[in-house]
Chains A and B, each alone.
Chain A
Amino acid sequence: MTTNLPVQDPDLHHSVEDPGIGEHVERFTDVDKGAGNRVYYTLLAMLGAVPVLAIAFIVIYFAMPRDWIIHIEFGGATYIHASAMNVTLGLTGGLAVLLIGIAVVQWARALMNDHEMIEERHSAASDEDTRAAALAQWEDGVRDSNIRRRPLLLGALGGAVGFAVIPAVVTLADMGPWPTKATRAETIERTLFAAAPEETIRLVNDETWRPIRPADLEIGQLVNAQPSNLHDVDSPSHPATPKEHHQEKAKASIIIVRMDPNSIKIPESRTDWHVSGILAYSKICTHVGCPISLWERQTHHLLCPCHQSTFDLGNSGVVVFGPAARSLPQLPITVDDEGYLIAQSDFTVPVGPSYFERDSRNDYKDGDA
């Protein structure tokens, strides 16, 4: 057997005998010498333009001020209003590279020989002799290794390598703290509001840190807020690592809304959680944790912009639409001696997405007292 074809007995039931590859079709450049020359000169021109473009790129890079803006307006429509450097570098560099490509491809298409060639395939499979020879060599090797007489060696080696891998894996065990029950209680199950009521934690505006009085809020008002003690946690105003600050903010961000107390449902258990229609909710969606503040003052619905979970803030934050399964946690609030809004305590359930270790079936649901 001289060849090792992939299909020995094709058994394809060809209905029509293979006539073989068709006649070669001549190109214009094959038959017309002028056409060939035209392609030749075009290619030369394209390749000749590349150095010009490359030099233009370099000149632009060094000579053009970075803040130049290209602004083309015509008939009231702005066509482009962009960094002149970016656009011109892109145009010169891009065209230079593109021209090389087009020229080389056109050379192949129009000037290189385009007679198709046929190459035989060979199957990956080895013939019987080769397989037998390989097997014999394997056997020789096994015999040379003496493994048959001392069979425990192989097992011992496997075990040794296996055990040697374990320490390597173990070194990854400290990639993060272990979320044991105690760790969870200190991290994902606790927010900065937990310091209340021993410590007075005012609700303050995001960005401006201004504390909020009930009189500041009109019906239909929304405030993006956070606990006042967030300020003490490695604030971004001290350019240190903002790790704790961000971690705490990711849990303790809240929204405060004021609604007409007569237009909302307040369950028995939450009658003293609000201050005359002012309610505070976690800003962190219970679905995957996006911060939500897309609140409609008339419907009292709060929409998450990430996955469109919708919560009814006029009804203890229950889910009215979308993929979130749990109500938005409500923060019990009251006012301090100076009349500012403060937290009564931490959230009564962990904020943010559910997690495996905690049974959330008893979290507040529509209709609960």
Chain B
Amino acid sequence: MNTESKRKRKAQARPWVLVMALLVVGLAYSVVVPPSSSAETEMTQQIEEGKAIFDVSCSSCHGLNGEGLSAGPSLIGVGAASVDFQMGTGRMPAARGEAQIPAGEVVYSQEQIDAVSAYVASFGPGPAIPESSQYDPEGLNADEIARGGALFRANCSACHGIVGGGGAMPEGKHAPALGDTEDVHIYEAVRTGPQQMPTFSKDVLEDDDVRQIIGFLNTADEAPRYGGLGMGNHGPVSEGFWIFLLGIGGLSAIAAWIAKKGAGAR
């Protein structure tokens, strides 16, 4: 189970992306100095674009106005964060209704996802896509990250397992492993409660709490397995499996070598 590399690359790439984005935005502002009305036009354009995608990919299950059909729930009031999570992790658009719709290939670009998010957000008020300051664990100190661990064990580990390895839920559902999930998506999942996951609102779990949880997950994920190979990381179950396979099996093979006699005993 190698989950660390992707997260790691992301974590390293993020500051650069941020700096570049800020530069571009800043330049655009200082050089073009757009009139305020043009921002609104842009907004409308984005919603229009989102609607086009929504009508093609989403409306068959969620209804033309997101009112919800038998195949998919209403999207009124779910907010942009929900759309960004569902589409950004490849859960949506789903091929078919299942007990649990798994994460998958992300089929739309972030721009397109933003457009659909903006369109769905226009159905009714809901959680917005977070600013990076809300979820980015950058700048947390060691004590805060450790506190994130305590919060994770209080609120998350029951379903998602120790250090977010995932866990079983009733009737074939499961709480997914969090190793490959991007920071922003963890934040959005906490706030919007996708599928069976409960919501954790801002008043109960503040943004700083969530940042600390994300910081803990990232640090724990990048940390070495101090004791050696993880051997499957399923705790005592995998440990028991290996002690029989390698311990009993291996030593029995050696025992057979020890007890061999005659010409066979080289």
Residues of A within 8 A of B (CB): 24-28, 69, 71, 76-78, 80-83, 86-87, 90, 105, 108-110, 114, 205-208, 210, 212-213, 215-224, 257, 291-299, 301, 303, 305, 308, 310, 321
Give the residues in chain A near B229, CB-CB below 8 Å: 80, 82
Contact call A221/B199, Cβ cutoff below 8 A: yes
**A71-B224, A257-B198 known; A220-B262 Cβ under 8 A:** no
Contact call B201/A25, Cβ cutoff below 8 A: no
Give the residues in chain B near A27, CB-CB below 8 Å: 262-263, 265-266
Q: Taking the complex as formed, is B167 at the interface, i.e. its CB lies under 8 A from any CB of chain A?
A: yes
* Contacts A221-B199, A303-B170 known; 20 new A-B pairs at CB < 8 A: A28-B266, A69-B224, A86-B227, A105-B258, A109-B261, A110-B266, A114-B262, A205-B204, A220-B193, A220-B198, A220-B199, A221-B198, A223-B204, A257-B198, A291-B158, A292-B158, A293-B155, A298-B196, A308-B170, A310-B170
Contact call B263/A25, Cβ cutoff below 8 A: yes
Interface of chain A, main secondary structure? mixed
Contact call B2/A78, Cβ cutoff below 8 A: yes
Give the residues in chain B near A109, CB-CB below 8 Å: 258, 260-261, 265
**A82-B224, A82-B229 known; A295-B198 Cβ under 8 A:** yes
Q: Which of A114, A217, A292, A296 has a CB less than 8 Å from the CB of B201?
A: A217
Contact call A83/B227, Cβ cutoff below 8 A: yes
Contact call B224/A301, Cβ cutoff below 8 A: no
Q: Taking the complex as formed, is B84 at the interface, i.e. its CB lies under 8 A from any CB of chain A?
A: no
A360 to B209, CA, bound (A): 40
Report B26-47 CB contacts with A as 1/0, cut-off 8 Å. 0000000000000000000000
Contact call A26/B263, Cβ cutoff below 8 A: yes
Contact call B228/A208, Cβ cutoff below 8 A: no
Q: Which of B4, B154, B195 has the most CB of A within 10 A?
A: B154
Report B140-173 CB contacts with A as 1/0, cut-off 8 Å. 0000000000110011001100000001011001
Contact call B195/A298, Cβ cutoff below 8 A: yes
Can you name 14 A-B pairs with beta carbons within 8 Å? A26-B262, A27-B266, A80-B228, A82-B225, A87-B228, A109-B261, A110-B266, A114-B261, A221-B204, A293-B159, A299-B196, A301-B170, A305-B158, A305-B159
Q: Which of A81, A216, A220, A293 has the most CB of B within 10 A?
A: A81
Give the residues in chain B near A83, CB-CB below 8 Å: 224, 226-227
Contact call A296/B158, Cβ cutoff below 8 A: no
Residues of B within 8 A of A (CB): 2, 4-5, 150-151, 154-155, 158-159, 167, 169-170, 173, 175, 193, 195-201, 203-204, 209, 224-229, 257-258, 260-263, 265-266
Q: Which of A296, A308, A310 has the most CB of B within 10 A?
A: A296
Q: Name the residue on B nearest A35 (C-beta).
A: B266
Pick the 3 closest A-B CB pairs, nearest first.
A25-B262, A222-B198, A216-B203
Closest Cβ of chain B to A297, distance in Å, is 5
Q: Name the residue on B nearest A299 (C-beta).
A: B196
Contact call B158/A221, Cβ cutoff below 8 A: no
Closest Cβ of chain A to B227, distance in Å, is 6
A294 to B160, CA, bound (A): 9
Contact call B200/A297, Cβ cutoff below 8 A: no
Contact call B263/A297, Cβ cutoff below 8 A: no
Contact call B203/A207, Cβ cutoff below 8 A: no
Give the residues in chain B near A221, CB-CB below 8 Å: 193, 198-201, 204
Give the residues in chain B near A25, CB-CB below 8 Å: 261-263
Closest Cβ of chain A to B54, distance in Å, is 23
Q: Name the residue on A nearest B194 (C-beta).
A: A297
Give the residues in chain A near B227, CB-CB below 8 Å: 82-83, 86
Q: Which of B4, B198, B199, B225 has the most CB of A within 10 A?
A: B198
Give the residues in chain B near A108, CB-CB below 8 Å: 258
Contact call B196/A216, Cβ cutoff below 8 A: no
A82 to B204, CA, bound (A): 37
Q: Name the residue on B nearest A207 (C-beta).
A: B154
A81 to B1, CA, bound (A): 12
Closest Cβ of chain B to A254, distance in Å, is 13
Give the residues in chain A near B209, CB-CB below 8 Å: 208
Give the residues in chain A near B260, CB-CB below 8 Å: 109
Q: Name the residue on A nearest B195 (C-beta).
A: A298
A303 to B226, CA, bound (A): 32
